[in-house]
């Protein structure tokens, strides 16, 4: 999983598009009997307005936005000391405003120093002690400017000379250090995007810079985790016209197996268990351009049960994240049927569909967080 915030025995967090208020079997797969409490965050449609919310075991909890009548979105969720923390943003009539909720209480994030429109967007959240950490970015009309927040205070990320644009996509706290992953872009004719990560806001050119030795194409790192003081990140790089999936171990790249006859590979989540590195993602079938969900174990491709998906030539399947919980591989993502996206998750390769009875389909396949805690 890409966003392990605490030791595995306490809380597991993985990227997911939220599931709704009713679970049921799909494609002959029974609903699993697991001792989880599941927290998920996303948004739903209420008439013409998009509203941020979260679910606890499928029961929806609306998020308060005093005085706000515009759209709102929940982007990430975590749980610490039985408090629920959610990062998101809302439209105030002129710009998008980054914020978070602590047990339902709204707190705006500082946007001082963001150029242009001043819009700001969170991507990931972590909590350590009494401090809330959020990774995200502000942007003007054209460019993102990566940062992270400690509580409501914005902290800029160090950039190499000649670099003006950056974005951050994931954050963790390990042994008191704050790790943020993302990319930066060169301010020259080529506009090369380079995968990287920061520790406590500082960028080191090696090994934390994840540039690809001998290659001069774009790369990005979307998720990060730390295990036994080793830093793991997953993302993709562009070679020619094709995006290839990969993961890095302390800055050393490992390619993900790519099926023949496929196009782009997207690595969306990562987790580590012992000597095994699990990466979740998807690839594009060259024959019809559909996304096909899958995962990798130490770089070796593992197919997912796609019953009810691959027989529909109009359907995509996307994967957001992966973790191993109580000996079971848990993978989360979405399937597309025509214009709608339906959240799903896989438990030991059995797919379970989630739905939104009464409020319509899932809005998009934007990555969210899901938190799994043992039931007491």
CATH architecture of 12-374: 7 Propeller (2.130)
Cα 33 to the center of its chain, rounded Å: 26
Query: In whole angstroms, how far apart are CA 116 and each of 148, 194, 315?
Result: 18, 24, 39
Helix, strand, coil % over all residues of the chain, rounded to 5:
0, 60, 40
- Residues 22-71 have pLDDT tens digits of 332 333 334 445 555 667 777 877 778 888 888 776 677 889 888 888 89
pLDDT at 184 over 70: yes
pLDDT at 367 over 70: no
| Nearest C-alpha neighbor of 123 from the set 141, 148, 142 | 148
Q: Return the domain boundaries, the chain.
A: 12-374
Q: Are strands 96-102 and 83-91 parallel, antiparallel or unpaired?
A: antiparallel
Please tell me the predicted confidence (pLDDT) of residue 37: 65
Mean pLDDT across the stretch 102-119? 82
Q: How confident is the model at residue 203 (pLDDT cuts 50, 70, 90)?
A: confident
Q: How confident is the model at residue 373 (pLDDT cuts 50, 70, 90)?
A: low
Exposure letters 55-81 (e unless 16+ CB within 10 A, then b): beebebeebebeebeebbbbbbbbbbe
Mean pLDDT across the stretch 92-99? 91
> Residue 372 corresponds to which tokens in the numbers above?
């799994």
> Residue 303 corresponds to which tokens in the numbers above?
């197919």
């Amino acid at each position: 999983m890409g966003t392990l915030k605490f030791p595995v025995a306490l809380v597991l967090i993985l990227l997911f598009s939220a599931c709704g208020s009713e679970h049921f079997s799909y494609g002959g797969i029974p609903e699993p009997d697991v001792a989880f409490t599941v927290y998920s965050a996303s948004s739903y449609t209420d008439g013409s307005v998009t509203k941020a919310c979260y679910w606890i075991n499928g029961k929806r909890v609306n998020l308060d936005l005093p005085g706000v009548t515009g759209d709102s979105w929940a982007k990430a969720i975590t749980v610490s000391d039985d408090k629920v923390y959610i990062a998101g943003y809302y439209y105030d009539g002129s710009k998008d405003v980054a914020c978070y909720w602590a047990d339902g209480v709204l707190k705006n994030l500082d946007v001082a120093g963001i150029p242009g429109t001043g819009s700001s967007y969170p991507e990931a959240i972590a909590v350590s002690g009494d401090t809330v950490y959020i990774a995200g970015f502000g942007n003007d009309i054209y460019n993102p400017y990566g940062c992270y927040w400690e509580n409501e205070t914005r902290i800029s990320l160090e950039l190499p000379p000649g670099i003006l644009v950056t974005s951050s996509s994931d954050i963790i706290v390990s042994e008191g250090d704050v790790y943020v992953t993302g990319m930066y872009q060169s301010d020259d004719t080529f506009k090369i995007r380079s995968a990287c990560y920061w520790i406590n806001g500082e960028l080191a050119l090696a090994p934390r810079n994840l540039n690809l030795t001998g290659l001069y194409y774009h790369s990005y790192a979307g998720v990060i985790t730390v295990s036994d003081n080793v830093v793991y990140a997953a993302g993709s790089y562009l070679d020619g016209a094709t995006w290839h999936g990969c993961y890095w171990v302390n800055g050393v790249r490992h390619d993900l197996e790519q099926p023949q006859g496929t196009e782009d590979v997207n690595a969306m989540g990562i987790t580590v268990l012992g000597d095994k590195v699990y990466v979740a993602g998807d690839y594009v079938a060259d024959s019809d351009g559909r996304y096909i969900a899958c995962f990798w174990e130490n770089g070796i491709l593992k197919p997912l049960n796609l019953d009810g998906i691959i027989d529909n030539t109009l359907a995509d399947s996307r994967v957001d994240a992966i973790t191993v919980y109580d000996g079971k591989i848990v993978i989360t993502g979405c399937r597309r049927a025509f214009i709608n996206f339906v959240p799903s998750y896989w438990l030991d390769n059995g797919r379970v569909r989630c739905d939104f009875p009464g409020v319509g389909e899932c809005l998009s396949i934007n990555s969210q967080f899901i938190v799994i805690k043992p039931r007491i």
